Structure formats: C-alpha cells, structure tokens
Amino acid sequence: MAETLMIRNARPYGGASADILIRDGRIAAVAPPGLAAEGQEIDAGGALALPGFVEAHTHLDKTLWGMGWHPHSAGPGIADKIDNERRVRREIGIEPDRQATRLAAQMLAMGTTHIRSHVDIDTEVGLAGIEGVMAMRERLKPVVDVEIVAFPQSGLMIRPGTLELVDRALALGAEVVGGLDPCAIDRDPKGHLDAVFGLAEKHGRPIDIHLHERGEMGAFSLDMIIERTRALGMQGRVTVSHAFCLGMPDIDHVRRLIADLARERIALATTAPASAPAPAVRTCLEAGVVVCGGSDGVRDSWNPYGIGDMLERAMLVGLRNDFRRDEDIALAVDVCTHGGAKVMGLADYGLEAGCAADLVLVAGESLAEAVAVRPRERTVIKRGRLVVRDGRLAVPIA
C-alpha cells in the first residue's frame, strides 16, 4: 500500500511547476523541479495539482448510476419527491452497497477523495441504507474516505419510529446527525430540532441539516438552529445544507443571519442551484462562514443531472455567483476542496508537505481554465497511491 511516488512537472493550484514527492501516504516535499529521483515517477505534463476534491453533500445510497436510465417521475415539490422516491425504491430495487460503490467509484474517477454522504433512514428502509453504505465504506477505505450522515429523509417526528432508527444508526457508526425542513416536512420545528440536537449531544456527534425552506419560514428554522447551536455549545459542529432562505430578497435579514452563522461557526453546504434562491457564496465567505459544495443527488429520483464531478460543481458555483475573475473562480474551487475539508474536519488536508497525499492532476493553463474546460482525463492519488490514471480507475473496486 505505502508507495513512494515522485510527481514531476505538476503545478500546485495552477502555479509554477513543481516536483511533488510522496512517501508513506503523505506529501513529503513540494519543491521546484529537480528533486533527486525516488520511487515511481509520474509525469504530470504541466497539469494542475489540486488536493482531492471534497464532495461534501451527496446521497450515495440511492443513486441509479449504472442501473440504466430511469426517466424522472416526481412532481415539483419536496414532498412529491419524497413520496415518489419511496415508490421508485419499492419498484426498481436500489441496493445501497452496490449503488454507493458505483457512484463513489465515478466520483473518485473525477478526482474526489472525500465524501460526506447523507444516507436515508425511514421506517420502510430501516437501516439497510446505513448498513449498505457502511459495508461499501469499509471496502473502499483504501481509495476514498466516506463520512455518513444519518438522514431521516421522510421526516423524523412525523413518522414514529424514525428517531429510534437514527439513534441506532449513530450507535452503529454513522458519524453525523441529519435532519430536514423542521417546519415544512416535519411540521414541528421545536420537536425536530430538540431531537436532532439531543441525538448530537447523546452521541457526541456533529449535525448536518437539510434546509430547503425558503424565505421567512426558512429563516425562522435557521434562527432556531442558531439558538440551539449557541445554547448547547455546538459551535463549529453544525452544517446547514442548501439554506435556500439565505437567497431571499430581504438582504438586511439575510446579513443578520449570516453574521449569526459566522458567530456560531455554523457551516453551509451548497449545490449552487440555478433554479432556486441560494446563499451568496462570496458574501458568506467574507463574513467568515465556511462554505462547502456538493453534487447532492446524482442521477437519482430527485435529480437526473450530474456525473459526480466537483470541478463541474465549481463551475456551477461560479456561474451561480457570477464569478468571472480568476480569484473568484478560485473561491469556487476552494468551496469544493478546502471548504469541504473544514466541514469534514480533515486535519491533514492540502498540498503542503506533511499533508495526506490525496490529490488530483487535471490539465489546464490556470485554475480558472480547468474549471471552464473540466477535462475528464484526470489522475488521482489517494493516500499516496495512484488510483486513477487519465480518468480510468487504476485499482480494482469491487
């Protein structure tokens, strides 16, 4: 497993050409060209070197990747999608381990080395999703790091029995307490959030809550999340995913909420949706809020789009936020790399000596060009091991 690799002629973040020496799964040196030969040589051919992408919000357990094309059949609302998904799951059979493996392999091929996946828990599927993704996580440990959010997709309080299942999932090994739409779906914001924060306290785990609620309703739920984070000393341990309400027109209210998020060190996960209000990424970053990015569902009953490419996500973040300057496009890439690493609490993430050797090589004259073109022939190193060469898996993934 522990190999020594010498990557020649790579350009960290699109800067000057460098040699990157990797030993025992870590970056041993990043230096101007000319390091003494050691280990297996890889000629990057002037490609950019970036730390492995961090897919900080996805749903590995329910993708249809590799199952043939299934036309989207859900109605437009969130509740429509939840109901439709339960129906689709019954009809076509989505084996979580197999499906999570397929999508994780695709993400890896696109340069992602770390994944936070929400995994459905409800009274119908029980813990099958959690167990499947845990099995996949164990098997794929050498090539990708996966963090599991115990996610009550069909509601927590509104479906009796779900809370106990989430509790068991956390005991089993899911690392993060999930939640969603305390008002709009669960119809009981106090009950929902007390339960979510209660589980976090009981298990000593962080929280990641889906918040699709828009406008003042979403702001109300967000405010209740902020209150609990402060009261329970959960600063730096809470992420809010989507947070569409931060795209509402009342910018004074939005600015107050963003200041509160920064103060309580609550992070945001965004897909940068083009058809929904969304947090303004630059405004959030400037206020000191950590922002990470994610594909959300990839080819599942929620969303037909996506190839699990975080460089494409960086483009979508850029387009959504009108990022045109190179330094702004670099912010979009930062969301899809370091932002996710902060949310996942990766201590040794980056391209400096001493960091874990998780990196991706992709052609491009500049970081911005790599985002604009998104070449798919990437080379990926995971913990010092060459796992993807020119877009193709170089290791077996069962």
Q: Which residues pair with 44 in a beta bridge?
A: none
Q: Does 273 bind a copy of itself (CB under 8 A)?
A: yes
**229/224 Cα distance (integer angstroms):** 9
Q: How far is the CB of 365 from a copy of itself (least distance, A)?
A: 4
Tell me how far apart the alpha carbons of residues 283 and 276 are, in angstroms, rounded to a whole number: 17
Q: Which is nearer to a copy of itself, 117 or 301 (CB)?
A: 301
Which tokens is 129 given? 């999703």
Residues 184, 224, 264, CA angle at the centre, nearest 5°? 130
Contact with a copy of itself (CB under 8 A): which of 272, 292, 331, 333?
272
Question: Cβ closer to a copy of itself: 30 or 315?
Answer: 315
Task: Please pick, from the candidates 23, 159, 205, 376, the single residue that binds a copy of itself as defined by CB under 8 A.
Answer: 376
We find the least distance from the C-beta atom of residue 83 to a copy of itself, in angstroms, to be 15
Alpha helices in 308-384 (DSSP H): 310-320, 326-334, 340-343, 367-373
Buried b (16+ CB within 10 A) or exposed e, 376-396: bebbbbbbbbbbbbeeeeeee
Q: Are strands 392-393 and 145-151 parallel, antiparallel or unpaired?
A: unpaired
CB 204 to a copy of itself: min, Å: 38
Helix (H, G, I), strand (E, B) or coil at 150: strand
Tell me if 325 contacts a copy of itself by CB under 8 A: yes
Query: Is there binding between residue 282 and a copy of itself (CB under 8 A)?
Result: no
Contact 308, 362 (CB under 8 A): no
CA distances from 207 to 188, 255, 335 (A): 18, 23, 19
Q: Does 112 bind a copy of itself (CB under 8 A)?
A: no
- Which residue among 58, 112, 241, 321 contacts a copy of itself (CB under 8 A)? 321
- Taking the least distance from each CB to a copy of itself, the nearer of 74 and 193 is 74
Candidates 121-129, 161-169, 251-259, 302-310 — which segment interacts with a copy of itself by CB under 8 A? 302-310
Binding piece for a copy of itself, criterion CB under 8 A, among 18-26, 187-195, 353-361, 370-378:
370-378
Provide the residue type at 151 as one letter. F
Using CB under 8 A as the binding rule, whether residue 352 contacts a copy of itself is answered as: no
Question: Half-sphere exposure of 141 toward its Cβ, with a 13 Å CA cutoff?
Answer: 5
Rounded Cα distance between 318 and 214, Å, is 22
| Residues in contact with a copy of itself, shown as a per-residue x/- string from 51 to 80 under the rule CB under 8 A | -----------------xx-xxxx-x----
**Closer residue to a copy of itself in complex, CB, 63/229:** 63
CB closer to a copy of itself out of 141 and 325: 325
Task: Give the residues lining the site for a copy of itself (CB under 8 A).
Answer: 68-69, 71-74, 76, 272-276, 299, 303-307, 315-316, 318-322, 324-326, 329, 365-366, 368-369, 371-373, 376
